[in-house]
Structure 1
Amino acid sequence: MVTDIAIADTAKFYPIEKFIQDEIQYVDLRDFNITETKLNESGDTAFAKEDHTSSQLTKDEFISAAREIKNAAVWFSKNKYLYKETVFQDLGTESYTINYQSDEADIKNIDLLLNEQTNLPKRLFIREITREEGNTMTVQYSWIAGKQFTISKSMKNGKTLIWQSSKTIEWNNKP
């Protein structure tokens, strides 16, 4: 007789998804001035075009933009079995760095810097790389706790940059 046995998930990875959700709620519950700065650039230097804009965001627009990073964190949480975790102490930044790496997933690398005294996140970096039809798309998510996040994207064909873009969303306590 064969029976299925449920195996408990014992991996104790840092709850990145909860960190992002807490940050979103922190902004949503306050009257912050939210600013988005965008930079778009074509890759060919002979025809390089750069577009730089800055604008104010509503809370709903902020939440919508942050959702992209939260979705990556949710995916990671559901697929953490694909990742190897390493932890080291960085005396220079007075933080612990938790690193997650995988060769089996599009999210290749996650670095989380925790405050050495409080074990609360200071910074989060997520790198996602996908390849399709000779092109490589790289997405870098960067989050500074209580301050801002950046989503940077680039598309390359081989070593040739086709385009790149970034948007940084900042918030502060000035109404």
Structure 2
Amino acid sequence: MKQLAVILMSYWLLACGESVQTNNQLQPSPDSTQFYPTASFFENQMTVLPTMKKNMLVFHTKDGKKDSTQLSIPAFQELVKEFIAKDISDATTKKHYRETIFQDAATNSYTLSYTAVDTTVTVKGMEVLLDEQTNQVKRVFIRSVYRKGNGSIMEQHNWNTAKGFQIIRSFTNEQGYTMNELTEVQWEE
């Protein structure tokens, strides 16, 4: 019982303590920082994958209804353009982001993480996983939020170099109605 009283008293003292303002706001990366050029990577994938003659399938789920079909090259290219449009590596865009890099021993990857420091930008965050040995892209994750009409759209673009990609959208209108949509593309290894 004494321990509980001490713990509660400690929490109370911490809660009543003086608020200290720190300058912990995320700052953009220095101008000299080179962001990973995701647009170039996706443009390369858009060109190379069709030449490999891999069978590509698209699975589409919207409001619980599922559909699948073989994906044509023009349709594949249109979907990849969504990834290209999310590139943040150019000089005018990168000033709105902070880059952090860490080595992930569990996945044998370097993770390049980009976080928006400006709340008005559409792309809120991006992670690029590079193979430790080859520096080749293994995966890319892009999170976006934007307004459209009377609602907002949250998107998650996921790219797995060896297997395919996903585009996940969640649309919410002002009345609270939410519609979810998943587009998944897979190709043979």
- Find out whether 1:147 has 2:169 as its counterpart: no
Is the CA contact (8 Å cut-off) linking 2:103 and 2:111 kept in structure 1?
Answer: yes
User: Please, which moves more after superposition, 59-68 or 153-162?
Assistant: 153-162
Residue 137 in 1 paired to residue 153 in 2? yes
Normalising by structure 2, report the TM-score: 0.75
Distance 1:88 1:147 in 2: 24
Cα offsets for 1:95-143 (capped at 9, x unmatched)? 1111001142110000111111111110000000124677331011000
Equivalent in the alignment of 1:125: 141
- What residue in structure 2 maps to residue 27 of structure 1? 49
- Check whether the contact 2:36–2:89 (CA below 8 A) recurs between aligned residues: no
Tell me, in whole angstroms, the C-alpha distance in 1 between the residues paired with 2:117 and 2:174. 20
| Larger relative strand fraction | 1
CA distance in 2, matches of 1:109, 1:131: 17
SS in 1 for 2:159: strand
Instruction: Work out the CA distance in 1 between the residues paired with 2:173 and 2:65.
Output: 21
In the alignment, structure 1 residue 81 sits paired with structure 2 residue 95: yes
Which residue is equivalent to 2:115?
101
Tell me the SS of whatever aligns to 1:13: coil
Q: 1:66 aligns with which of 80, 86, 96?
A: 80
Q: Distance in 2 between matches of 1:132 and 1:30?
A: 37
Asked if 1:169 is matched to 2:181, the reply is: no
Segments of structure 2 that go 5 or more residues without pairing to the other structure are 1-30
The correspondence of residues 44-59 of structure 1 with structure 2, limited to 5 A, is 50-59=64-73
Q: Give the Cα separation in 1 of the matches to 2:148 and 2:72.
A: 35
Residues 122/161 of structure 1: CA separation in 2 closer, same or farther (3 Å cut): farther
* Aligned-partner residue type, residue 35 of structure 1: L
Q: Go from structure 1 to structure 2 and tell me whether the alpha carbon gap of 1:91 and 1:162 turns closer, same or farther (over 3 Å shift).
A: same
CA contact (8 A) 2:123 2:144 kept: yes
TM-score of the superposed pair, with normalisation by structure 1: 0.81
**How far did residue 69 of structure 1 move?**
1.1
- For structure 1, the 5+ residue unaligned runs are 1-8, 42-49
Give the letter for the 2:152 counterpart.
T
Question: 1:83·1:100 contact (CA, 8 Å) conserved in 2?
Answer: yes
Runs (4+) of structure 1 exceeding 6 A deviation are none
Letter in 2 for 1:14: Y
Residue 17 (1) aligns with residue 29 (2): no
The 1:94/1:61 distance shift into structure 2, 3 A limit, reads same
RMSD (Å) for aligned C-alpha atoms: 1.9
Q: Is the 8 A contact 1:110 1:127 kept in 2?
A: yes
User: Matched residues, percent identical?
Assistant: 29
Q: Secondary structure at the match of 1:17?
A: helix
Q: 1:23 Cα deviation (Å)?
A: 1.3
CA contact (8 A) 1:23 1:146 kept: no
2-side partners of 1:132 and 1:58: how far apart? 28
